[in-house]
Amino acid sequence: MNTVKPIRDLEKVAAMKEVLMNQHERNYFLFVLGINTGLRISDLLKLKVGDVRNKNHIVITEQKTGKLKRFKINNDLKRHITDFTVKKEEAEYLFKSRRGNARIHRVQAWKILNTAAKEVGLDEIGRHTLRKTFGYHFYQKYKDVAVLQQIFNHSSPSVTMRYIGINQDIIDEAVDDLVYKIVQFLIQARYM
Per-residue pLDDT band for 189 (boundaries 50, 70, 90) equals confident
Asked if residue 147 belongs to a domain, the reply is no
Asked if residue 28 belongs to a domain, the reply is yes
pTM of the model: 0.87
Asked if residue 124 belongs to a domain, the reply is yes
Q: Which of 48, 128, 132, 137 is catalytic?
A: 128
Q: Which of 48, 69, 103, 154 is catalytic?
A: 154
Asked if residue 151 belongs to a domain, the reply is no
119-150 exposure pattern, b = at least 16 Cβ within 10 A, e = fewer: ebebeebbbbbbbbbbbbbbbeeeeebeebbe
24 is catalytic: no
Per-residue pLDDT band for 174 (boundaries 50, 70, 90) equals low
Report pLDDT for 187: 77
Rounded mean pLDDT of the chain? 91
Q: What is the pLDDT of residues 66-115, one digit of tens each?
A: 989 999 999 999 999 999 999 999 999 999 998 888 999 999 999 999 99
Q: Which of 5, 26, 28, 40 is catalytic?
A: 40
Asked if residue 4 belongs to a domain, the reply is no
**Structural domain for 57, as ranges:** 10-131
Asked if residue 82 belongs to a domain, the reply is yes
Average pLDDT of the residues in 18-29: 97
Asked if residue 79 belongs to a domain, the reply is yes
* CATH assignment at residue 30: 1.10.443.10
Per-residue pLDDT band for 2 (boundaries 50, 70, 90) equals low
190 is catalytic: no
Asked if residue 153 belongs to a domain, the reply is no
Number of domains in the chain: 1
Average pLDDT of the residues in 104-128: 94
163 is catalytic: yes
Average pLDDT of the residues in 27-48: 97
